């Protein structure tokens, strides 16, 4: 082989290597991220923010593609955690409510009236209880990275103002998640019915159900008042945190650098979304009232009557959630 031919060979080899490297970076790793709500809502915006930050900082090596509206689980949001655990979904920004059928500890946040305000939520998620909840998720094959927030869930209905437990008597209320919600609303003499978000909107429109509960952002963006939900009770009966998480084998297949990047960007996106959701609450409430919704804010006495009426939920659910976990959460709330 002449020197020139040898050189051509080497050059071709090099070019091949360069081409291969190019092809590899062109096929940058893409992870699917499931959400229940789209980026019309803070929840979907949290996932988009995460994706944007990852894109900016990974120089194209890692991409998050967000699939909203529970589409990766055919609309059944209570299957999202299982789908992520099995690897059908790489990652998700999901609600504790929707994952609680598979992770009983997540029912902590659904215990009625456990968390009265935002400081209480932060004390729990940011403390020992939050760590135990993350450990519980991790022990089930999913790596939790950061907290976000869907918000305090408020009650709406089409029948009339609700300011005491008796007002819920016989009202058909759409709920989702674990059977804990059946117990809470049954304790209030309502008639709870389990349904996905996809099915909830037509059910509200046709009057198949009388009421539902969701944060103000969801009520506002989805225009729940326009499907006849004219009465809204602000009762802060539970807060619905969001969790950014990744399937465990996907996580283990990532370089340490990419793991750090995913965790830091999730924390940043989560903090950004929590602040935004909270800041927007008062203007959302004003907008809802302007559209003619009757808003009821409970007095301390009225609030206490709801607390008393739902004590049976604690008797049944605290053992399932874990006495120690609930105790740590209570301590965090008291010392906030
Ligand atoms: O279905 C709901 O109510 C929603 C959108 O808030 C959740 O996914 C928990």
Does the C-beta of 58 come closer than 6 Å to ligand 1? no
How remote is the CA of residue 320 from the centroid of ligand 1, in Å?
22
The pLDDT assigned to 2 comes to 44
Does the C-beta of 98 come closer than 6 Å to ligand 1? yes
| 4 pLDDT more than 50 | no
To the nearest whole number, what is the mean pLDDT of the chain?
94
Q: What is the mean pLDDT of residues 123-134?
A: 98
Question: Over pLDDT 90: what percentage of the chain?
Answer: 91
Closest Cα to atom 2 of ligand 1: 197
Angstrom distances, CA of residue 113 to CA of 32, 90, 197, 310, 321: 35, 33, 23, 9, 16
Contacts of 168 (CB under 8 A, 6+ apart): 162, 185, 188, 189, 190
Question: How many angstroms separate the CA atoms of 21 and 17, rounded?
Answer: 6
How do residues 19-77 score in pLDDT, each as one tens digit?
Answer: 444 445 446 899 999 999 999 999 999 999 999 999 999 998 999 999 999 999 999 99
Burial class (CB in 10 A: 0-12, 13-18, 19+), 260: exposed
Does the C-beta of 108 come closer than 6 Å to ligand 1? no
| 18 pLDDT more than 80 | no
The pLDDT assigned to 122 comes to 98
Question: How many angstroms separate the CA atoms of 253 and 6, rounded?
Answer: 39
Residue 147 · residue 273 · CB < 8 Å: no
Contacts of 58 (CB under 8 A, 6+ apart): 28, 258, 261
Does the C-beta of 95 come closer than 6 Å to ligand 1? yes
Closest Cα to residue 270, out of 71, 110, 130, 108? 130
Question: How many angstroms separate the CA atoms of 231 and 225, rounded?
Answer: 8
- Would you place residue 14 in the very low, low, confident or very high pLDDT band (cuts 50, 70, 90)? very low
How remote is the CA of residue 178 from the centroid of ligand 1, in Å?
12
What domains appear along the chain, each with residue ranges and CATH number? Answer: 29-334 (3.40.190.170)
How remote is the CA of residue 314 from the centroid of ligand 1, in Å?
22
| 236 pLDDT more than 90 | yes
Place of tokens 């999730």: 266
Closest Cα to atom 8 of ligand 1: 36
Closest Cα to atom 4 of ligand 1: 197
Closest Cα to atom 5 of ligand 1: 197
| 13 pLDDT more than 80 | no
Angstrom distances, CA of residue 149 to CA of 62, 166, 193, 277, 315: 25, 30, 24, 7, 27
How do residues 256-313 score in pLDDT, each as one tens digit?
Answer: 999 999 999 999 999 999 999 999 999 999 999 999 999 999 999 999 999 999 999 9
Q: Of 150, 193, 200, 238, which is best to mutate to test ligand 1, by the most ligand atoms within 8 angstroms of its C-beta?
A: 150
Does the C-beta of 197 come closer than 6 Å to ligand 1? yes
| 254 pLDDT more than 70 | yes
- Atom of ligand 1 lying closest to residue 177 CA: 9
The pLDDT assigned to 11 comes to 47
Closest Cα to atom 6 of ligand 1: 214
Instruction: Please spell the DSSP secondary structure of 204-255, one letter per residue.
Output: HHHTSSSEEEEEHHHHHHTTGGGGT--EEEEEEEEEEEEEEEEEHHHHHHS-
How remote is the CA of residue 51 from the centroid of ligand 1, in Å?
22
Query: Residue 73: in which H helix or E strand, if any?
Result: none
Does the C-beta of 50 come closer than 6 Å to ligand 1? no
Does the C-beta of 176 come closer than 6 Å to ligand 1? yes
Beta carbons within 10 angstroms of residue 295's beta carbon? 15
- For 60, the 3-state DSSP assignment is coil
Instruction: Please spell the DSSP secondary structure of 162-187, one letter per residue.
Output: --SGGGGTT-EEEE-SSTHHHHHHHH
Beta carbons within 10 angstroms of residue 21's beta carbon? 10
Does the C-beta of 73 come closer than 6 Å to ligand 1? no
How remote is the CA of residue 37 from the centroid of ligand 1, in Å?
8
ipTM above 0.90, yes or no: yes
| 320 pLDDT more than 90 | yes
How do residues 186-219 score in pLDDT, each as one tens digit?
Answer: 999 999 999 999 999 999 999 999 999 999 999 9
The pLDDT assigned to 28 comes to 83
| 7 pLDDT more than 70 | no
- Helix residue spans in 66-172 (DSSP H): 80-86, 96-99, 118-125, 128-138
The angle, 0 to 180 degrees and rounded to 10, between the axes of the packed helices 128-138 and 118-125 is: 60
Q: Quote the pTM value.
A: 0.92
The pLDDT assigned to 27 comes to 60
Question: Over pLDDT 70: what percentage of the chain?
Answer: 92
Structure tokens at 180: 């804990």
Angstrom distances, CA of residue 242 to CA of 190, 250, 271: 27, 20, 11
How do residues 142-178 score in pLDDT, each as one tens digit?
Answer: 999 999 999 999 999 999 999 999 999 999 999 999 9
- Atom of ligand 1 lying closest to residue 174 CA: 3
């Amino acid at each position: 082989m002449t020197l020139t031919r040898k050189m051509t060979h080497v050059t071709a080899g090099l070019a091949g290597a360069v081409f291969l490297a190019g092809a590899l970076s062109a096929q940058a790793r893409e992870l699917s991220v499931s959400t229940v709500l789209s980026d019309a809502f803070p929840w979907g915006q949290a996932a988009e923010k995460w994706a944007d930050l990852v894109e900016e900082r990974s120089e194209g090596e890692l991409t998050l593609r967000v699939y909203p509206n529970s589409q990766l689980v055919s609309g059944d949001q209570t299957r999202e955690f299982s789908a992520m655990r099995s690897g059908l979904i790489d990652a998700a920004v999901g609600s504790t409510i929707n994952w609680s059928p598979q992770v009983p500890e997540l029912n902590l946040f659904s215990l009625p009236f456990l968390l009265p305000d935002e400081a209480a939520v932060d004390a729990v998620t940011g403390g020992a209880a939050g760590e135990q909840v993350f450990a519980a998720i991790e022990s089930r094959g999913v790596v939790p990275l950061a907290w976000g927030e869907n918000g305090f869930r408020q009650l709406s209905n089409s029948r009339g103002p609700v300011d005491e437990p008796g007002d819920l008597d016989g009202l058909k209320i759409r709920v989702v998640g674990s059977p804990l919600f059946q117990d809470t609303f049954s304790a209030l003499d309502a008639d709870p019915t389990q349904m996905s978000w996809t099915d909830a909107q037509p059910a509200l429109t046709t009057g198949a159900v009388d009421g539902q509960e969701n944060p103000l952002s969801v009520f506002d963006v989805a225009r729940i008042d326009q499907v006849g939900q004219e009465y809204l009770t602000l009762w802060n009966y539970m807060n619905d945190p969001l969790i950014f998480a990744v399937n465990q084998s996907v996580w283990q297949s990532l370089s340490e650098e990419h793991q750090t990047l995913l965790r830091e960007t999730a924390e940043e996106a989560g903090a950004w979304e929590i602040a935004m959701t909270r800041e927007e609450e008062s203007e959302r409430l004003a907008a809802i009232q302007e559209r003619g919704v009757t808003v009821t804010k409970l007095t301390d006495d009225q609030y206490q009557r709801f607390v008393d009426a739902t004590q049976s939920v604690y008797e049944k659910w605290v053992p399932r959630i874990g006495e120690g976990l609930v105790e740590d959460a209570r301590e965090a709330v008291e010392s906030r």
